[in-house]
Structure 1
Amino acid sequence: MSHPNRERADRILDAAGELLLRMGYRKVAIDDIARAVGIGKGTVYLHWRNKELLFQALMMRESADLTDEILAGIKADPAMILPHRMISASFLVTHRRPLVMAMLRGNAEMFGSLGDLALRKQQDELRGQFEDAMLRHGLIRPDVPNISYALQSATLGFYLGDSMSGEFAGIPLEEKAAALAHLIRSAFEPAGEPDPLAVAAVADELSTALEALVSGYRNGIYAHDPTRAPG
């Protein structure tokens, strides 16, 4: 059963997310968040002792929810872990989350000192693990020079393209994702059909890593939960 204090924490995070998108990190005060939820400022501090911890919890929750979407996709179809499918699916779910998009684009005005979250480090480690598993199981070409750099640059271009120029703003998101999938498939994956056993092995390995990531995030979100015993 969900606890009323946990529900209140989620309401605080919801309000913080809306205010963050509207005003930016520097301008949002705990007062504004409390007012939006209809509670006193002291109640917000019961959950998080300062603004930075509150917004870190918000980004952890965003990342956990996004990762859960990816996990559900892999459970429904293990072939979702093939680089072209995984990368284009992540592109789509990320674009549906304005907070994650802003974090990815390093929007300093919006995030202030939160730009360098530990989340980034975890995601970089996960990306390394993903590439390593793909190479070990022959799902990615071994002959691409500087594979990590090439993959990341190819992918990032799709995230940053619109902010560089308005020229392609009219292309629907699904078509952009399809173009990204085509690029990754043709440039980075071996020709022919992937080995189903390799796909199953990587899906298993990656799901385990993603589940551990989500559970770490979920614990971190409510780390200062007032329902927990002190200590």
Structure 2
Amino acid sequence: MTILVSLPTSGVAAPGTDIVTPVSTPLGELPEKHSAKAARLLAAASELLVGRGARGFTVADVAQRAHVGKGTVYLYWPTKEDLLIGLIGRGFLSLVDDLIERLTEEPDLARPSRFCPMMLEIATSQPFIAALQRHDEDLLGILAHHPRSVALHDQLGPSAVLHAVLPIWRRHGLARQDWDIDDQTFALHALISGTALSLIGPAPAPVTADDPMGVLGAAITALLGTERATRKQIRSAATEIMAFLRDGHTAALAVIDPPRPAG
């Protein structure tokens, strides 16, 4: 995995050139883990993206808000597109990390009636995941349908997660098995997507329920059946779900910072 950083110790391109040369960073690590400047740039870009939309600002605006030179942005991200894809990707990484942390602390959250509301609540709190869910072109611009955005959503969006975890639930006594799995997946996806759009869609429906996520949990149980799993089965389900999420984390990192050819 690489980030872009100039060879001169001053952190600028060599005299007489506009070339910024990539150097390696540890695989699986993001630049903001070791660079306060990178962290400030991400925070600045996030604020501008939320406030103005993808079309409403430039790399120079990001640099100015982060109190660095414009060239510093390119030390970490070759293009504005890479920077913005990085923001979206970090939203998915945060979602995954949060889910893994909670499942580790409380495996009982692997129950469908608890997992689905938890996942949806975390996902809709991530502004860029929510924007992808509602296809918000005003906020995301071309990123709404960009291949790398689509790849992130296809790997770790709510529908992708549900498609992966439903077979786990069926194997471990957490979902009925007397229903064709494709039909069951479609019904579950429709329920989750409808709930999400009612909360964060372009024209959110008035929420009359006092506890929408509690209602969703009850609806999940009505759809999938009574959760009859033993504690051992629940722990096994949690372990398998976390394995899927860790694989997704790795895949998301590859989308955020794809390998670049040497030289």
**TM-score if structure 1 supplies the norm length?**
0.85
Question: What RMSD in Å do the two structures reach over aligned CA positions?
Answer: 2.6
| 1:203 CA drift (Å) | 0.9
Most deviating of 121-130 and 12-21:
121-130
Q: Is residue 161 from structure 1 mapped to residue 198 from structure 2 by the alignment?
A: yes
RCO (CA 8 Å, sep 6+): is it higher in 1 or 2? 1
Equivalent in the alignment of 1:182: 218
Alignment counterpart, residue 121 of structure 1, candidates 154, 158, 168: 154
| Counterparts of 2:243 and 2:33, CA distance in 1 | 30
Q: Which amino acid aligns with 1:185?
A: T
Q: Is residue 217 from structure 1 mapped to residue 255 from structure 2 by the alignment?
A: no
| 1:179 CA drift (Å) | 0.9
SS across alignment from 2:229: coil
**Number of residue pairs matched by the alignment:** 223
Q: Which amino acid aligns with 1:148?
A: T
Q: Is residue 112 from structure 1 mapped to residue 141 from structure 2 by the alignment?
A: yes
Q: Is residue 132 from structure 1 mapped to residue 157 from structure 2 by the alignment?
A: no
Gaps of 5+ in 1: 225-229
Q: Which has the higher helix share?
A: 1
Change (3 A) 1:209 1:192: closer
SS across alignment from 2:219: helix
Change (3 A) 1:38 1:96: same
**TM-score if structure 2 supplies the norm length?**
0.75
| 1:216 CA drift (Å) | 4.0
Equivalent residues of 1:24, 1:109 under 8 A apart = yes
| Counterparts of 2:40 and 2:202, CA distance in 1 | 35
Q: Which amino acid aligns with 1:119?
A: L
Equivalent residues of 1:30, 1:41 under 8 A apart = yes
| Counterparts of 1:208 and 1:192, CA distance in 2 | 21
Bigger radius of gyration among the two: 2
Q: Which amino acid aligns with 1:24?
A: G
SS across alignment from 1:142: coil
| Counterparts of 1:160 and 1:17, CA distance in 2 | 23
**Cα deviation digits, residues 175-201 of structure 1 (max 9, x gap):** 111111110012213x25422222111
Most deviating of 153-162 and 129-138:
129-138
